[in-house]
Structure 1
Amino acid sequence: MAGANQKGIVNIDTIDGHQKEGLPKELRDELDKLEKQFTVTTEKLKEITKRFQEELEEGLKENGKNIAMFVTWVLGFPTGEEKGSFLTVDLGGTNLRVCWITLNGKTKDKEHDIVVKQDSYTMPGELKTGNASDLWSFIAQSLQKFIEKENLTATPNEPLPLGFTFSYPAIQDYIDQGVLQTWTKGFDIENVEGNDVASQLRSAISDFNLSIEIVAVINDTTGAMIASAYNDPDTIVGAIFGTGCNAAYMDKISNIPKLKGKEQIQNLSPDTPMAINCEYGAFDNARKVLPITRYDENIDADSPRPGEQAFEKLSAGLYLGEIFRLIILDMHDRNLFLKDQDITKLKEPYSIDTAFLSSLEDDSTDSLTQSSETFKSDFNLTFTEPELNFSRLLAHLIAIRGARLCACGVAAISRLTKTTTGHVAADGSVANKHPRFKKRWGQALGEILDWSGEDINKAVDETGAPIVITSAEDGSGVGAAVIAAMTLERWRKGHDAGIKGDGFEKVSGR
């Protein structure tokens, strides 16, 4: 993190290299107060990571713990030789993405030949708080449109195999089903929680007379990890730093006490690797160690699930812009900001997103003209130059805290598994589009894991630290296809641990 020493303390006169000295006293005083609230020191990071690891271990011991540590029945990494054509669908936060993915194996140059055809379908906003029937009908109808557009052929006796990316907390006794525990990311759809989402989607698929067989239900973190491992054997974790935050990693089933006595593992070696979907956005819901401000408390209180996803609400992309908005509103209410201006548009919840904060941080125009024009066009607000400078420094503070907190989850997994090197395959807009996230995340990770100064500098310079972020190879699409291929191959060989397999006979020969 530029602008901070290796103990994570932000320089009192600068934030990420930008000067505070030009601010009027009342704005500088306010920024100093916010700086104290949002700075996360190395000592605090280590305290958070220690508790993080404890909660990961608790989740491995039994179900119903704060961090769920869901078993996925993805047994091991791909060989890299998986082949076949697969339909995939990804239920995201804003869009539904449908793909037809063909895995052709490796070329002569030992690169993978992957062909992806895809379409996105905008989800009506009312679906997020509607009912189950409307949700599954929308997905089935989108699948129907895609199949017709791509002229995909299938029959009831030879259905299309589908990998379903469902990135919400779900318990899986089998890889081809998943029981939703609780909605996250602002979703609150009736009659889905406590039910098998694969079964509900199958019913809608049947209603639309589609010849599709759901082969695997996966989380996007697991998909990110497997998709990247398909090409990169150094992959150790799949992570999402976007609208939400989460990670997946591989552990031996002997290290998962809650699997003891399960019928599904009776024929498996204790050393069999199992992908674990952590669902660690719920870390520290008891709020014992997280540095929570009153703005974070406001976000939680107004969310569909107060008291849940505590970690996510401090660090994920869905919330960073909202934290910024609430601070600006608070300052306006105290007559410190945007005096005598109509802030009606700014009062709309979540009207500022993380992309806006990224552009504000990265604004290199004279007097921040670009940001000034955006505030004017989007909110009909005229910011003074000191207000613009304050806003950029505030965006830095919020993003720095988010990136540093995001490092705690991967650090805890590294400590848990005694992993010291490797690649964290990351997907999500924050990881891949924010201009400074990787540097800040890497420095914080090095501070927690006690890297040498040289290795921390490598992390900041993005020049090859012991553990680095790599861009995930389309976990929601390619990852789902690779996992579907792995699952079908296991089924064909009679290795059906964790596979329910209703209807698999029809797709096993495709």
Structure 2
Amino acid sequence: MASLKLLIINALKSLSRGRSFLQALLALWISPKSNPNKLKKIKVFRRTREEFLKEAKKLLLGPIGSNHFITNSGPIPNDPLLLLSKKLKAQFEKGLQTNPACMLPSYNHQLPGGHESGQYLAVDIGGSTLRVGVVDLKGRQTTDDDDSNIVHMDSYKIDRNVRLLRGAFFFKWMARKIETSLKKAIDAGHISKAEYEVGDPMPMGLAWSFPLEQTSPNGGNICPMGKSFLACDGLIGQDLGATCNKILQELRVNVEVVSIVNDSNATLLSSAYSSPSARFGLILGTGVNIAAHLPVNLIGKSKFGERPDSWYEQASHVMVNTELGMFGRDILPLTRWDKILKAGHERPDFQPLEHLVSGYYLGEVFRIVLLEAIKTTGLLGGKISPLLLDAYSMDTGTMSLIINGRDARGRAEAVFSQLYHLPAGYPSTEDMRFMQQLAGYIAQRSASIVAASVFALWELKNEAEQTFLDELEPESPFSEETAVELMMERTTVGYTGSVLTCFPGYKETLQKYLDQLMMSSGHNLKERRIDLVEAKESSLLGAAVSLAGVVEEERMGLNEKKDMAY
């Protein structure tokens, strides 16, 4: 008993140095300094790899009805994934009413018509990168690739030092980077030097990858940011656009923020610019989020804040930043490995859905599963690499490598061995097959939950539109618009993010789950579909499209005033 107390005390000391309790216990368990005779007394349950895989498949995929892979052959009776989707839909409905942290309506009530054109300055502030671009919109009918619309772009890494910049210091850093990029664009001939230096401030569209309580096309109250950012310190509740413009003016950067969109909304805008059927924007990379174009009647009045009556007179729908990762509490099926991840998380209940689906966490779940498999099945010779004891040392890119078999660095076996300093001969061919199946189960579960989320939002949208149409007077200007929405045969989900674009087979698996959910709910895929379409450079393009819309509205407003003057 004394030895066990000493083990726990030492583990807690390790915990105070930044390691999780699980890490500390495992590290002491396999430490060379541990008494071998005492370790022999620790009972380790032994089982075959086949037994482990069978249980892993049951735990990860069984609760969502995915223990036998979908074939799109028809509806699944009592489909568990459809049941999960309905539970998510109930949470979405509740969040749309009063929750101030999620389901945030933007100021954009119209999707682009695809005719918007011109050259615009766009800035994307993400979790790891600041990008500044000059975007040349050419209209929906152009045959050029999306990439050709960006005539100039600079990227700046947002490292830990930048994330720790407090309040105005972060925005000053951002303003200096914008200034640097503008000088490069001027030197390259993409922007007129005289126009920039002498003319009015250059309008800028901003894609903001954090929650924002939007109050106008170019403003919104700053909310807590997460991801270790301190830029919101002392600024929570203050207007983002006004804060940026004040600092740009102080530093004499001749630029003005005219439009602000969340990055998921930017994905939707960029998709809708090229595809008239786009109604959702999905981001699945380090994190996860969905933007949805939803009927106004779905959303509680308090969620809109203070808006003029003219806004409501024009808006039948509005783009909503769902903050999807915050949902799923108490309804997502958690394995013992998920519970270990949750127990070691500093905010275990903040983003429960994100823990099961996003790139930041998929590798960590895989690492936790591997630790158990090594000790119980003899995987990798039954020896745990010390590097695997470090939390989040297994990234989703390594999972992708294992499934793919090789990448630019070489064969997966060699790369994995080098990454984790494994002895010669490991991982073996059998080890790789085992790990491929485990990684596949974890990725498949992620795709199924994302599909359930998309489908839940699609159903919410359709049900609310039917209710809205039933309540409208026939002569209402919204009647025809809502009827057209209800008759859409194809709904496009614009997507971006490393998991969807780089992880082998993920996008195809997600599409299969969407098809299966449509069929299980009674729809004929020949009559109604939800299709995934990639949205390239979505944040910059979306910010530019939003800016183009604002500039166009302002121009129309000025023309109306001139007409009235005459």
| TM-score (normalizing by structure 2) | 0.74
Partner of 1:405: 449
| 2:47–2:377 Cα contact (<8 Å) kept | no
Q: Map 1:379-390; keep pairs closer than 5 Å.
A: 379-381=420-422, 382-390=426-434
Asked whether the 8 Å contact 1:290–1:311 carries over to 2, the reply is yes
Per the alignment, in what secondary structure is the counterpart of residue 380 of structure 2?
A: coil
Any idea what SS the aligned residue of 1:76 has? coil
Structure 2 distance, partners of 1:119, 1:38, is 41
Contact 1:254-1:270 at 8 Å conserved across structures: no
Instruction: Give distance in 1, aligned partners of 2:546 and 2:127.
Output: 22
| 1:95-151 deviation digits (Å, cap 9, x = unpaired) | 211111122446687998834311111122233345334432332221121111111
Report SS of the residue matched to 2:109. Answer: coil
Tell me by how many angstroms 1:339 deviates. 4.2
* Distance in 2 (alpha carbons) for counterparts of 1:386 and 1:275: 49
Residue 123 of structure 1 pairs with residue 186 of structure 2: no
Structure-2 separation of matches of 1:488 and 1:94: 29
Alignment CA distance shift 1:204-1:325 (3 Å): farther
Q: What is the CA–CA distance in structure 2 between the aligned matches of 1:41 and 1:434, rounded to whole Å?
A: 22
Q: Is the aligned partner of 1:276 residue 2:320? A: yes
- Kindly tell me: are residues 332 and 111 of structure 1, through their superposed partners in 2, closer, same or farther at Cα, counting changes over 3 Å? closer
Contact 2:130 2:158 in 1 (8 A): yes
AA at the equivalent of 1:389: R
CA contact (8 A) 2:285 2:497 kept: yes
How far the C-alpha of 1:332 sits from its partner, in A, is 3.8
Asked if the contact 1:220–1:476 (Cα under 8 Å) also holds between the matched residues in 2, the reply is: yes
Greater Cα offset, 310-319 or 419-428: 419-428
SS at match of 2:154: strand
Check 1:178–1:54 CA distance in 2 against 1; reply closer, same or farther (3 A cut): same
Structure 1 residues 364 and 348, CA, compared in 2 at 3 Å: closer, same or farther?
A: closer
SS for the counterpart of 1:450 is helix
Does residue 81 (structure 1) correspond to residue 115 (structure 2)? The answer is yes
Q: Any conservation in 1 of the 2:109–2:316 contact (CA below 8 Å)?
A: yes
Q: 1:62 to 1:136 in 2, by over 3 A?
A: same
Q: Please tell me whether the aligned partners of residues 75 and 275 of structure 1 are also in contact (alpha carbons under 8 angstroms).
A: yes
CA–CA separation in structure 1 for the residues paired with 2:509 and 2:141: 37
For residues 266 and 452 of structure 1, what CA distance do their matches in structure 2 show?
38
Change (3 A) 1:31 1:188: farther
Contact residue 287 and residue 360 of structure 2 kept, 8 A: yes
Deviation at 1:390, TM superposition (A): 1.2
Contact 1:127 1:134 in 2 (8 A): no
1:352-389 CA-to-partner distances (Å, cap 9, x unmatched) read 22222122112279xxx811111122121232332222
Residue 89 of structure 1 deviates from its aligned partner by 1.4
1:381-423 deviation line (CA, Å, top 9, x unaligned): 2323322221111110110000111101110111111266311
Question: Counterparts of 1:98 and 1:361 in 2: how far apart (Å)?
Answer: 34
Match of 1:498 in 2: none
CA distance in 2, matches of 1:485, 1:304: 41
Contact in 1 for aligned 2:374/2:382 (Cα 8 Å):
no
Across the two proteins, how many residue pairs are aligned to each other? 459
Structure 1 range deviating more: 162-171 or 201-210: 201-210
Q: 1:9 — aligned with what?
A: none
CA distance in 1, matches of 2:107, 2:404: 42
Q: Secondary structure at the match of 1:243?
A: coil
Which amino acid in 2 is paired with 1:48?
L
When the two chains are superposed, the root-mean-square deviation of aligned CA atoms in Å is 3.0
SS in 2 for 1:311: helix
Cα distance 1:453–1:394, how it changes in 2: closer, same or farther (>3 A)? farther
Q: Is this contact kept in 2: 1:60–1:258, CA < 8 A? A: no
Looking at structure 2, the residues matched to 106 and 315 of structure 1 have their Cα atoms a distance apart, in angstroms, of 33
- Distance between the aligned counterparts of 1:111 and 1:385, measured in 2? 41
Q: Does 1:132 align with 2:167?
A: yes
Please give the alpha-carbon distance, in whole angstroms, between the structure 1 residues aligned to 2:509 and 2:266: 25
Aligned residues of 1:259 and 1:265 also touching (Cα < 8 A)? no
The runs of 5 or more residues in structure 1 that have no matched partner are 1-23, 459-463, 496-510
State the partner residue of 1:435.
504
Mapping 1:342-491, distance limit 5 Å: 343-363=385-405, 370-381=411-422, 382-418=426-462, 421-450=490-519, 466-491=529-554
Q: Computing the radius of gyration over CA atoms, which structure comes out larger, 1 or 2?
A: 2
Cα displacement string for residues 327-363 of structure 1 (whole angstroms, at most 9, x for unaligned residues): 2233345574334646222233323222221221122
- 1:157-236 to structure 2, matched below 5 A, reads 158-185=200-227, 187=229, 191=233, 193-236=236-279
- Asked if residue 56 in structure 1 is aligned to residue 92 in structure 2, the reply is yes
1:69 aligns with 2:103: yes
Find the residue that maps to 1:264 and give its secondary structure.
coil
Counterparts in 2 of 1:218 and 1:449: CA distance versus 1, 3 Å: same
**SS of 1:412's equivalent?**
helix
Per mean C-alpha deviation after superposition, the further-off stretch among 177-186 and 375-384 is 177-186
Could you tell me whether the CA contact under 8 Å between 2:215 and 2:305 is conserved in 1?
Answer: no
Q: Which secondary structure does the structure 1 equivalent of 2:203 belong to?
A: strand
Provide the secondary structure at the position in 2 that maps to 1:288: coil
What is the CA-CA distance between 1:242 and the residue it aligns to?
Answer: 1.5
Matched, 1:27 2:49: yes
SS at match of 1:78: coil
Q: Is the 8 A contact 1:63 1:258 kept in 2?
A: no
Within the candidate set 333, 340, 352, 1:310 is matched to: 352
Q: Which runs of 5+ in 2 are unaligned?
A: 1-45, 67-78, 463-485, 559-566
Displacement of 1:245 after TM fit? 1.2
Rounded to whole Å, the distance in 2 between the matches of 1:347 and 1:298 is 13
Alignment CA distance shift 1:147-1:236 (3 Å): same
Q: Once the two structures are aligned, what percentage of the paired residues are identical?
A: 27
Report SS of the residue matched to 1:291.
coil
For residue 209 of structure 1, what is the amino acid of its counterpart?
A: R
The residue that corresponds to 2:363 in the other structure is 321
- Cα separation, partners in 2 of 1:49 and 1:259, compared to 1, 3 Å: same
SS in 2 for 1:246: strand
| Alignment TM-score, normalising by the size of structure 1 | 0.81
Range with bigger deviation, 175-184 or 313-322: 175-184
Partner of 2:450: helix, strand, or coil?
helix
Identify the match of residue 36 of structure 1 among 33, 58, 66: 58
> Is the contact between residue 52 and residue 377 of structure 2 (CA under 8 Å) also seen in structure 1?
no
